[in-house]
Chain A
């Protein structure tokens, strides 16, 4: 059972029920026949629309949840409590209402455009950004059935669309005709060319092991061993490059508030700013979700299979896979928040160094090692000595490199 057929059944049931009721009430004739014919013709499109809206809503709910987690967690790490706003005694101290208040505030704010800006591009930039980010959600499944589209090349599609955002940032930064936004846009382009290649190379190792670009396949291959154990270097490269791609501290150079005011977002206000912010969190979700799918077994349960007979009859064999997936994604996101609380921001020349001189060799090393180990065993995870080597060799090399040469400096 997947999301599409469930929604299809739901929509058919609803439409047929309403039409049946109307017919029962005596509305027959050519109009009703036309409606029935039109529904038959548009059935597929309506279902797709419902599925997409559902995915969109889930994506936006994730934004709110992650924003809330980030605020609360980073506040605790800095020894404060962040927003405590509740409404009428509900959610007092949790600050759950604050996010909705913020959203309403941004909606009501004046939307300004600089006089010298390229007005069309200036308005289109955030839309491209948030649109391309939401488009990736289509390809990111939350479980075997819960996906808008089960693409055969889902990972390729996701990474391709994902790489689109720096372009939108660059456009927005240039179109605002402001020195700070221009520099922010330039930095975004710099960052993309230095971190995109290591990101894709780190994914290549995982894809070789899984033998598929389909995200569900990659998850199922990990039923035995999570790829974090077989591809530790790839994970390090992935997470560093991904933080850079989603522009979070320590790699949030395009919006470095210390020197560039707010970077490429400086001139945006109101809903356009909200779009920029929202895209950041959607991309954060996607980055964490793909990371979980590639390295942490996706929606597979981390505990061994078990079944409990419930006292009121029926059986319970663990929560739904979507829940595991969300838990893993949010844990990975919390790691990113932790990184943000503990680190500052690197410089532009340093991110180029990190991308080209550190991450790229690491990713190449990982790829070569994966190929070499696959020569011994087609399926690395099944052979304990090879799997052990796959973890121990890179871990030892990484540690040695880090301690001996101060690798990341």
Chain B
């Protein structure tokens, strides 16, 4: 059969967002692929140069519509490094709670979409159902389900509501009940294994040389996690494991992320139970009129991989001189053409989904 180019996007039910994967197929076999991105470019980095820090803060929530607070927290941490302020301990614990809840919510969306990629529509409904529990917690804590705008430079916006701890612990118990159900539906299903084992194999050397991070890299077998490597907030005081896979295939990406949900639930519990009393904003802190002339590079473990912010203050204005956002899925999407060759047409959504793309963050 002659070969032809097929668009797997941007207007296609399988794309997780607005992007395009052009594949050249011979029958059903993929011979070549090209990634086309940029449909969602909003110039966030340039906008930052024209805004004060406070005004730019809410825009970080828009960087990723699935894991919003991760990016806002990362940005505030970068600004705190720049201004040399340390948030009080309670605020750091609250940030960990929010980050880990965000990770659970993000992985649930991923798991659901991964199921839908192989026609398992029950999984997407279960995933979104259980994500609602997390969103309810966010709603209680921050007043918003998606766009929280919760972290502040020097702390967090408000303290935990009185009922939050009980409800969050209950929600984590609920998650612990649900994870075995996901395993029944996906992990113990012969068909799920048929569709993911040996599909989209990304060997470790290739993953490292392409710059993959987070669950993608861990699925390939490297135990790499910014939370362990370069602990920020209070992660060094909490006990958690970094799950890894062996083969770097679709199956390992599933097991790694599912285990991360479990670890995050445990982290939320630990953070809530060990949380000290105290302020949630650095006392007496005020945003200075002028940002110091310094360069900051701050990394953090986003649910999708290693997110990083490069921030330059110019010592003259209260606006960043330059902001650069390192998006993990940008790297993962551009890596797809390197390991998709030889896959079947049906594997394309599984491979695309395995990278967990979030287009708002990729295109920025």
List residues of B (84-136) whose CB comes within 8 Å of A's CBs. 115-122, 125-126, 129
Cβ of B116 and Cβ of A79 under 8 Å apart?
Answer: no
Cβ of B121 and Cβ of A348 under 8 Å apart?
Answer: no
**28 A-B residue contacts at CB 8 Å?**
A78-B122, A79-B125, A80-B129, A179-B4, A179-B6, A183-B345, A186-B27, A249-B119, A258-B13, A258-B119, A259-B345, A259-B346, A261-B12, A261-B13, A343-B120, A343-B191, A344-B115, A344-B119, A344-B189, A344-B191, A344-B195, A345-B120, A345-B346, A346-B194, A348-B28, A348-B346, A349-B344, A409-B193
User: Which residues of B approach A to under 8 Å, CB–CB?
Assistant: 4, 6, 8, 12-14, 27-28, 115-122, 125-126, 129, 185, 189-195, 344-349
Cβ of A344 and Cβ of B118 under 8 Å apart?
Answer: yes
With a cutoff of 8 Å between Cβ atoms, the chain B residues found around residue A346 in the complex are 191, 194-195
Cβ of A342 and Cβ of B189 under 8 Å apart?
Answer: yes
Known A183-B345, A348-B344, A349-B344; contact A258-B194, beta-carbon cutoff 8 A = no
Kindly state the separation between the CA atoms of A345 and B196 in the bound complex, as whole angstroms: 11
**In the complex, how many residue pairs between chain A and chain B have their CB atoms under 8 Å apart?**
87
Cβ of A262 to closest chain B Cβ, rounded Å: 8
Kindly state the separation between the CA atoms of A347 and B190 in the bound complex, as whole angstroms: 13
Cβ of B349 and Cβ of A259 under 8 Å apart?
Answer: yes
Give which listed residue, B125, B193, B346, contacts A347 with CB less than 8 A.
B346
Kindly state the separation between the CA atoms of A150 and B125 in the bound complex, as whole angstroms: 46
With a cutoff of 8 Å between Cβ atoms, the chain A residues found around residue B8 in the complex are 259
With a cutoff of 8 Å between Cβ atoms, the chain B residues found around residue A406 in the complex are 190
| A-B pairs, 5 with minimum CB distance | A345-B119, A344-B118, A344-B120, A78-B125, A347-B346
Cβ of B191 and Cβ of A253 under 8 Å apart?
Answer: no
Kindly state the separation between the CA atoms of A259 and B28 in the bound complex, as whole angstroms: 11
With a cutoff of 8 Å between Cβ atoms, the chain B residues found around residue A350 in the complex are 194
Cβ of B120 and Cβ of A259 under 8 Å apart?
Answer: no
Interface size on A, as a range, is 20 to 34
5 extra interface residue pairs, beta carbon distance < 8 Å, beyond A186-B27, A343-B189, A346-B191: A249-B119, A257-B14, A261-B13, A344-B115, A409-B194
With a cutoff of 8 Å between Cβ atoms, the chain A residues found around residue B345 in the complex are 183, 259-260, 348
Cβ of B4 and Cβ of A344 under 8 Å apart?
Answer: no
Kindly state the separation between the CA atoms of A55 and B79 in the bound complex, as whole angstroms: 74
**For the complex, is A241 an interface residue (Cβ under 8 Å from B)?**
no
Contact string, A41-84, partner B, CB cutoff 8 A, digits 1/0?
00000000000000000000000000000000010011110000
With a cutoff of 8 Å between Cβ atoms, the chain B residues found around residue A259 in the complex are 8, 14, 345-346, 348-349
Kindly state the separation between the CA atoms of A252 and B120 in the bound complex, as whole angstroms: 12
Known A179-B4, A348-B344; contact A341-B14, beta-carbon cutoff 8 A = no
List residues of A (78-97) whose CB comes within 8 Å of B's CBs. 78-80
Cβ of A257 and Cβ of B13 under 8 Å apart?
Answer: yes
**For the complex, is A125 an interface residue (Cβ under 8 Å from B)?**
no
Kindly state the separation between the CA atoms of A337 and B119 in the bound complex, as whole angstroms: 13
Among A180, A183, A250, A259, max chain B CB count under 10 A is at: A259
With a cutoff of 8 Å between Cβ atoms, the chain A residues found around residue B12 in the complex are 261
**For the complex, is A256 an interface residue (Cβ under 8 Å from B)?**
yes
With a cutoff of 8 Å between Cβ atoms, the chain B residues found around residue A250 in the complex are 119, 191
Cβ of B272 to closest chain A Cβ, rounded Å: 27
Cβ of B121 and Cβ of A78 under 8 Å apart?
Answer: yes
Cβ of B198 to closest chain A Cβ, rounded Å: 11
Cβ of B4 to closest chain A Cβ, rounded Å: 6
Known A259-B346, A348-B28; contact A408-B118, beta-carbon cutoff 8 A = no
Kindly state the separation between the CA atoms of A252 and B194 in the bound complex, as whole angstroms: 16
Give which listed residue, A179, A260, A345, A409, contacts B118 with CB less than 8 A.
A345
Cβ of B125 and Cβ of A80 under 8 Å apart?
Answer: yes
Cβ of B33 to closest chain A Cβ, rounded Å: 13
With a cutoff of 8 Å between Cβ atoms, the chain B residues found around residue A261 in the complex are 12-13
Cβ of B126 and Cβ of A409 under 8 Å apart?
Answer: no
Kindly state the separation between the CA atoms of A344 and B191 in the bound complex, as whole angstroms: 7
Kindly state the separation between the CA atoms of A163 and B315 in the bound complex, as whole angstroms: 77
Cβ of B210 to closest chain A Cβ, rounded Å: 24
Kindly state the separation between the CA atoms of A341 and B121 in the bound complex, as whole angstroms: 7
Across the two chains, which residue of chain A brings its CB closest to B117?
A258
Across the two chains, which residue of chain A brings its CB closest to B130?
A79
Across the two chains, which residue of chain B brings its CB closest to A257?
B13
Cβ of A408 and Cβ of B190 under 8 Å apart?
Answer: yes
Cβ of A226 to closest chain B Cβ, rounded Å: 27
Among B6, B193, B348, max chain A CB count under 10 A is at: B6
Across the two chains, which residue of chain A brings its CB closest to B192?
A344
With a cutoff of 8 Å between Cβ atoms, the chain B residues found around residue A341 in the complex are 121-122
Kindly state the separation between the CA atoms of A259 and B349 in the bound complex, as whole angstroms: 6
Cβ of A375 to closest chain B Cβ, rounded Å: 36
Cβ of B349 and Cβ of A79 under 8 Å apart?
Answer: no
List residues of A (221-251) whose CB comes within 8 Å of B's CBs. 249-250
Kindly state the separation between the CA atoms of A257 and B345 in the bound complex, as whole angstroms: 12
With a cutoff of 8 Å between Cβ atoms, the chain A residues found around residue B129 in the complex are 79-80
With a cutoff of 8 Å between Cβ atoms, the chain A residues found around residue B13 in the complex are 257-258, 261
Cβ of A347 and Cβ of B122 under 8 Å apart?
Answer: no
